[in-house]
Structure 1
């Protein structure tokens, strides 16, 4: 985490102010609005853009799809359940689970999410998206939204945003970009091009606690047209009476939360202390370290890379030749458990195409290539012992290194 943000967290807690209305948080409101303008500018959303800070990427995704849903059914007759029956959301097969959760929460059911196939780099296939949209139209369903991911959880894959936006526009549907993980690319001078097309989004999810190095929570939802917030605005006489709408910039008009922390302050202090360029450089360091880790995995005969490294995650497995798939699955789970029991490393796991894999997620820019090499060395050592049926606990532990091991 960025040290200025950690200090700011203490101030936020001490102030204990709530971002409800202008009279409760005048200064905080101005700072949050300034940061929303800054973020919308980085994304290229235009002069009519707006946004709100949220508790996290899941809430941002839910709110974006709620706004899309309410816009889609506005003016239709009948009870809400009937108006929702034929709505569909299109997202890649590797999209975040919160998209299906949102569909369930919004009364659509998680089966309303159509999983679009991905390519070899685990990016949503734009041609398959177009085919799915056309098929849905032929079947008599209505497309509610297209969700593109800028940084999938496992592979850091960035869907083809420009092509996905074009498909969404062709069918007149809401285009949402879930950039919770990949939002750090907005600050990167070297890799900003990976997000080309994000400027066409109707809404964007950002999660600053991931790639802007902020304490949890520090997230935001951006929208291209501030008028779309009207689809979720509610008025309460004791809080933001309708008769006074527009008289003051009440942030509760745009939020699903009422009581809400001044989390924008942490990002504000970080940017005032370090600047956007420094944040982008730190994110670039993560990408370089992950890329080096991917090359190391490729160079090892007993390690198998699941997909090209794209952001700061490396998905791989220990795969001795001649070992069956199920036995390899069990071996990788055993390697992970053995590393944890030894205290040498905490390595995540995931399943890719039904097969168990190990995963490194690098989010600390102080992690070095040597740190990652030490973890991979430990994977190889524990894997070799377990493959022979030996007990890794009986072998000497690998020497510890500084950082990047937990």
Structure 2
């Protein structure tokens, strides 16, 4: 590359861009080919490196940029495309989606008005219609939705509409004009202790606060109990409070639990309360012929969250919000004369009418390309494989005396999605020692970089977590990871004994 170029303005600059992309792909390829999922660099060293990389911005050639700056960034990033990455709900990326991602970035069109994204507007709407039909097969003509940045934004939209719908329908109060009504302090949202934390954050943003949460008990599989839901609604009403919405979960982040949405919808409907389902993870079951029935009742939800950057294998960000009645989603609409005036010269669709965002990427193209390339049936087989591997890993851990699953007696293999919460145990150790050991196992596994796992807490105890996201994860690989964790645990127990050889706490 002889000449530096900054924009895509002529033949020479376009050729420069093409050559640059080839060179960048070589760097990325080298990173992806590394067997380790992470380099093992510590937080302190990564902070120091980042500080050194940002010293001075005087202008560099692309060769300098790639070799001196981007190469170390790649080297010390987590390789989520590796099946060895089993920590979080971050998925490997489909190649077709990366092609789309390049087009999205180069075109750089915003999805707020038709004149900024002509074909993109209607392609996104077509993808929304496709999934609306899968979620709401009996309400196809009336359902709608919009692409979002992910589950947090989608859950915010669901709770916002629950609040505003209640105010319009029950109080005859228009929040968009008048702000929160005096009764707002009495509003309550019902969910379980396992509901995603974004629900709590959303209530803070909506001016209702965390006090608006009313917790519903769960059954022996961590699913919301419909009987207790009805009890809590009655109790709230008796206390003069106003239950305005229920948040169910289809795929919990720790336990993968899927609430019995069909039963919950009957309770919510009988009390005329908005039902929102957070299916950010479990929404992928829509493409599984084997497990789709686990989402029974989803078509009764007033609104639904789905993240395509989880088990649909799309680059971040790529999520969507769906609503059974498109009239309700119009509560979000606001007309700006410069952008989406009420009298549009083209009479075209402007997606900003139903989005919390103004500037928004053409993320629908990624999902479109992925589905076109792989087909829905293959997607479904990938989901089935991941669940099958999760069940087998569950059995493997149960059979070992050196591991303990959280809620071992109550969480059954048939209730699994793609996560397992477990911990290394040695029955001679105290709970305090076991917490320390498992925290160290998590840390050591990360710094070694061969297998990435996560950690969480259950009833104050430290646990480890597998999150299987890769369609090509094998049982042999899982067994290797389990063995590595076991060896780490054994070493830590031995070290703890030596450290406390005169203390019987861990003996």
Say which of 259, 262, 267 aligns to 1:162: 262
Q: Is the 8 A contact 1:344 1:378 kept in 2?
A: no
- Matched with 2:122 is 30
Q: Deviations over 1:206-264 (max 9, x none)?
A: 10110111111111000001101221111111111123499221100000011110000
Query: C-alpha deviations, 1:303-350, integer Å up to 9, x for none?
Result: 011143510101100111132222211111111122223333221000
* Aligned partner of 2:322 among 210, 219, 222: 222
Contact 1:21 1:250 (8 Å CA) reproduced? yes
The aligned counterpart of 2:451 is 345
Shift of 1:110: 1.3
Identify the match of residue 162 of structure 2 among 49, 68, 80. 68
2:146 aligned residue: 52
TM-score, length-normalised on structure 1? 0.93
TM-score of the pair, normalised by structure 2: 0.75
For 2:291, which of 191, 197, 208 is the aligned residue?
A: 191
Post-superposition CA distance 1:181-229 (Å, at most 9, x none):
1111000000001100101011000101101111111110000011012
Residue from 87, 90, 107 that aligns with 1:15: 107
1:127-138 matches, cutoff 5 A: 127-138=227-238
Given that 1:76 and 1:83 are in contact with CA atoms closer than 8 Å, whether structure 2 keeps it comes out as no
Structure 2: stretches of 5+ with no match in the other structure: 1-92, 498-507
Tell me, yes or no, if structure 1 residue 105 matches structure 2 residue 209. Answer: no
Q: Separation in 2 of the partners of 1:246 and 1:126?
A: 48
Q: Deviations over 1:147-174 (max 9, x none)?
A: 1000001011001101111111111011
- 2:412 is matched with 308
Matching of residue 333 in structure 1 with residue 439 in structure 2: yes
Q: Residue deviations 1:81-139, cap 9 Å, x none?
A: 52311111011210100001111100000120112122222111222211111111111
Paired with 2:215 and 2:452, the residues of 1 have a C-alpha distance of 31
**Structure 2 residue aligned with 1:355:** 461
User: Is there any run of 5+ residues in structure 1 with no aligned partner, and where?
Assistant: 392-406
1:181 matched to 2:275? The reply is no
Q: Deviations along 1:47-78, whole A, 9 cap, x unmatched? A: 20000000111000001111111111122387
1:123 aligns with 2:223: yes
Q: Shift in Å at residue 390 of structure 1?
A: 6.7
Identify the residue that residue 2 of structure 1 maps to in structure 2.
Answer: 94
Deviates more, 1:111-120 or 1:166-175: 111-120
CA distance in 1, matches of 2:425, 2:376: 41
SS in 2 for 1:209: coil
- Cα distance in 1 for partners of 2:278, 2:145 equals 14
Decide which of 180, 184, 191 is 1:91's aligned counterpart. Answer: 191
The answer to whether the Cα contact below 8 Å between 2:173 and 2:181 also exists between their aligned partners in 1 is: no
**Are the equivalent residues in 1 in contact too, given 2:404–2:422 (CA < 8 A)?**
yes
Q: Is the 8 A contact 1:73 1:83 kept in 2?
A: no
- 1:16-36 deviation line (CA, Å, top 9, x unaligned): 111011122121111111111
More moved, 164-173 vs 117-126: 117-126
2:372 is matched with 272
Q: Is the 8 A contact 2:423 2:463 kept in 1?
A: yes
Q: Does the 8 A contact of 1:283 with 1:365 survive in 2?
A: yes
State whether residues 397 and 404 of structure 2, in contact with CA within 8 Å, keep that contact through their aligned partners in structure 1.
Answer: yes
Equivalent in 424, 430, 433 of residue 318 of structure 1 = 424
What secondary structure is seen at the aligned counterpart in 2 of 1:20?
coil
Write the distance in 1 (CA, Å) between the matches of 2:161 and 2:300: 17
SS of residue matched to 1:176 = strand
How far is the alpha carbon of 1:372 from its aligned partner? 0.9
Note if contact 1:73-1:84 (Cα within 8 Å) is conserved in structure 2.
Answer: no
Is 1:374 matched with 2:480? yes
Show structure 1 runs of 4+ deviating over 6 A. Answer: none
